[in-house]
Each structure stands twice: as structure tokens, then as C-alpha cells.
Amino acid sequence: MTAVRSESAELSQSPASYRFPPGFVWGAATAAYQIEGAAAEDGRTPSIWDTFSHTPGRVHNGDTGDIAADHYHRFRDDVALMADLNLGAYRFSVSWSRVQPTGRGPAVQRGLDFYRQLVDELLEKGITPVATLYHWDLPQDLEDVGGWTVRDTPERFAEYAEIMAGAIGDRVPYWTTLNEPWCSAYLGYGSGVHAPGRTEPESALKAVHHLNLAHGRGIAALRALLPSTAQTSVTLNLHQVRPLTDSPADLDAARRIDAVGNRVWLGPMLDGAYPEDLLADTGHLVDWNKLVRDGDLAEISRPIDLLGINYYTPTLVSDGTAHREGPAVPRNDGHGASDHSPWPGSEHVAFHLPPGETTAMRWAVDASGLYDLLMRIHREHPGLPMMVTENGAAYDDYISPEGAINDPERISYLRGHLSAVHRALGDGADVRGYFLWSLLDNFEWAYGYSKRFGAVYVDFGTQRRIPKQSAHWYAAVARDNVLPDVPEEDGKS
């Protein structure tokens, strides 16, 4: 009856065989607003997340990113810590309003200097810098004139991409245009649990198209200035969608969520077209014929060198039409509490918490979903290299009386997911690297400082950094390029 399972085959390797390919990239990732702090220093102006976090009731405990992990002032120490942890690469994002405060016009050199110095420090320590241009922090000035709902914002993004490519493009070999545009569009403009906090299904779909367009124009801007050896990409939080049962209604629910969650990006970016079923599902909310103009899809589908995939947990859905006249449709989708759905055109789909172990986010621990996503891209887009650009877990970490942070649950989570990556490699998927989310405990968006994803514990009162047990474990994996002590069941459904 149930369809909650992996597409994958049984593991056949012995634990001793879990060696990764030569040159496999081991890294960790962060985002600007989550760690930098210095929110009003050196010319930086508010982003939508500054505004959102300072709005009462929007963020847990009234937390803001004003100071965060104070990385802006402590980046040299943080890079030294990365080196101690054997990281081969560091994926950071740029604060748009730090380098171009109003989202238009000339750059602020003090802002650019921070990223120049960060890149230089990384290179000096032998760590490859991986730059993400947009991790959700749109300059507030651009939101004030429509944000991602208007076509001018992709133009502004392309100019911003030019600025960054000109500033650090000679030293940064990997570039990502957007991180998780699903969150920017649907959580920001649909359910309102992320900045800018709007709850307008039509606006969410307009934001989808303009984010897609910004990606394509950003790729063009980068390619015009970067060395030919540079690698360009986009990072998507693809959903491994599974139907609760094999009933036709539940299968159609999974199709709908796959369309609005995954193929709305993969279609235009990789195939040059929006899926027809998506257009049918959402046509009552937005006029796609007016939204998508001649030439847009050609711009959006400019070739990329890599696809970044972020994965944390699978998505379990069923048809929820029975709830239309009764209780609210269950929406345990892990994306925050709201009376408004982040799934436009699929508001009747019910979301369920998969069975089994969960993290502090109440996200199910299931590494088979990562395997299945990697193999899906391998099948549908053979030859397209991938990187796992985010994967990790939040747990209720604390300092023991001995001064250590013991997090065996996180080690188990990472070991299972790295086993799934290794399995996908063995089955032909071209996966080039893995970035742990996150290097540091940080401002976890609407959850404030209540959730800890870091491999390194941050005491936010003192800004002291303490590597957790998982950080030392991951450092050994990165050093040896081998996944140790893999239980036979890791990575299986």
C-alpha cells in the first residue's frame, strides 16, 4: 500500500570500500545574513531580512542578524578554524546590500574589500572560495519598488553579478547565482514565514519567474567577465516528493508538488520550458502568457557547469481534498507555521511527517532521499555535474561539564547521507563535492538562534567557537577522503 520508500537498490559495498574519488571537494557552507553581523557598518543598508527580523512577531524571541556570529570582524579566525578542520572549500554568500546598498548604482568599496580580504585569506590557507550571489537578502530598497515581483529586479541582479565578478572573479573559481529560489519565492511571497513576509500566491509565482530570469541574466553577466575556467551554477533545494499511498489521488498530489517545487526551476533552467502541468495547475493564479516574455526562456536556460543540490529531508504528501469542508489540510512540510500555503495551486495537498527519527527541526532523517535526488538528476540530465551544496541537521547541542559538545546524532546523520552520496557515485552520478551545512551555529532565519546546525558551536554571548564532536569527525573524513565505519544500513530506506 505505502509508497514511502527509496528507488534505490541495496548497498553492496563493504565498509572498507567507502573511498571517494580523487579531487572530491569537502567543504562547509554559510550565508551572509546568518553569520556576518555588522548590519549597519561600512555602508551596508538594510536587506529584507533586516526589516523582517526587526518586525515584532516575525522571528522567534525577537532575534535579529545584527550581530549573528560576528563573522565580519572574526573572519580571519574563522578561516583559520576552517583550515584546522581540513576543509578544502568554503561556500559563502555575498550580502548584496553590503556591496550595493540600494541594489543599484556603484559599489561601496568597503563592502567589496571585506569579500576581497575573505577570499585572500581563504586562498592563503589553501581553501577554495565558492561564492553565492544571492542567499535571500534582497536590498530593502528593491523590495520597496516591488522586489522579486517585478522585472526590474533581474536587471539589477545582473548588474550586481557584474560588480562581484569584477571584484573577485579572478580568484574565485566557483560561482552560484541563487541559493534555494524556492524559499525566496514561496516562503517570502506565499506563506510569509520568510522575508519580505508577503502572503500573495500570484506574487509568489511572479517571483518564481523573475528569480529564474535573474539566474539566467546572472549567468550571462558572470560569463562575460569570469575566466573560462570558472564554474557557474545554481543551487536548488529539490524536494524528494513521495506519495503517502499508491492511490491515483496521492500520486497526483506528488506530481503537483514536484511541479511547483522542482520542475518549476529544472524545466526553464535546464530544458528551456515550464512544465505544461505546472501551467495548468497554477493558471488560475497568474497569466503565464503575460508573465513569460519572448526571449525569457532562452535567457533562463543558459548553460551552467554545475548544479548545486541542497537536501535535508524527504517530502511526504497525500490528496487533502477531503479536508476542504472540514478541518484544515495538514501541512507538516517543515517550512514554518502559516495560515497561507507556500505551494500555490496545490493548497489542497496534505503534507505528513514521515515516520522514524527526526531532527530538532522535526525533519525526518532519511538519507535515501538524497540518493534518489542525485540519481534523478543523473537520469534526466546525464552529464551534468552536481555538488551537494547543503546537507546537515539541527540538534539541541549543549556544552558538557567537560567543555565538549557531543553530537553523535549529527555524526550519524552525516554518515548516512555521505553513504548515500557515495552510493550515487557508484551508480554513475557525477557528484563533485559535498558542503556541510553549516560551518557555524548561526541566525536560523525565522527560528532565530533557537536551532543549531553548525559543526562549530557558537556561544553567542561571548562569540566563542567550540568545534563539536561532529566537526572533528568531518575533519577526518575530509583529510582522508574516506567515510569510516559505515554501518551496513546507512543510506538505505
pLDDT digits (tens, 9 = 90+) for 334-393: 999 999 999 999 999 999 999 999 999 999 999 999 999 999 999 999 999 999 999 999
Considering the candidates 121, 143, 162, 390, report the single residue annotated as catalytic: 390
> What amino acid occupies position 193?
V
Considering the candidates 36, 180, 299, 444, report the single residue annotated as catalytic: 180
% residues pLDDT > 70 (the chain): 94
390 catalytically annotated: yes
Q: What is the arrangement of strands in the sheet containing 315-319, beginning at the earlier edge strand?
A: 241-243, 315-319, 349-352
Q: Is there a contact between 482 and 20 (Cβ–Cβ < 8 Å)?
A: yes
Please give the Cα distance from 359 to 10 (Å, whole number).
Answer: 25
For 125, other C-beta atoms within 10 Å of its C-beta total 16
What are 36's three cell numbers?
556576518
Give the length of the chain. 493
What are 391's three cell numbers?
546537507
- The residue-averaged pLDDT of 34-52 equals 98
Please give the Cα distance from 93 to 28 (Å, whole number).
Answer: 12
Please tell me the predicted confidence (pLDDT) of residue 309: 98
Give the pLDDT band (50/70/90) at residue 489. very low
pLDDT digits (tens, 9 = 90+) for 211-221: 999 999 999 99
Q: For residue 433, list its beta bridge partners.
A: 25
> What amino acid occupies position 188?
G
pLDDT digits (tens, 9 = 90+) for 391-432: 999 999 999 999 999 999 999 999 999 999 999 999 999 999
What are 122's three cell numbers?
581563504
pLDDT digits (tens, 9 = 90+) for 293-324: 999 999 999 999 999 999 999 999 999 987 55
pLDDT of 491 over the 70 cut? no
Please tell me the predicted confidence (pLDDT) of residue 80: 98
pLDDT of 195 over the 90 cut? yes
Angle at 29 (CA atoms; ends 391, 118), nearest 5 degrees:
175
180 catalytically annotated: yes
Upstream peptide bond of 342 is cis (omega within 30 degrees of 0): no
Q: Three-state secondary structure along the chain? A: CECCCCCCCCCCCCHHHCECCCCCEEEEECCHHHHCCCCCCCCCCCEHHHHHHCCCCCCHHHCCCCCCCCHHHHHHHHHHHHHHCCCCEEEEECCHHHHCCCCCCCCCHHHHHHHHHHHHHHHHCCCEEEEEEECCCCEHHHHCCCHHHCCHHHHHHHHHHHHHHHHHCCCCCEEEEEECHHHHHHHHHCCCCCCCCCCCHHHHHHHHHHHHHHHHHHHHHHHHHCCCCCEEEEEECCCCEEECECCHHHHHHHHHHHHHHHHHHHHHHHHCCCCHHHHHHHCCCCCHHHHCCCCHHHHHCCCCCEEEEECCCCEEEEECHHHCCCCCCCECCCCCCCCCCCCCCCCCEEEECCCCCECCCCCECCCHHHHHHHHHHHHHCCCCCEEEEEECCCCCCCCCCCCCCCCHHHHHHHHHHHHHHHHHHHCCCCEEEEEEECCECCCCHHHCCCCCCCCEEEECCCCEEEECHHHHHHHHHHHHCECCCCCCCCCCC
Q: Is there a contact between 239 and 183 (Cβ–Cβ < 8 Å)?
A: no
pLDDT of 492 over the 50 cut? no
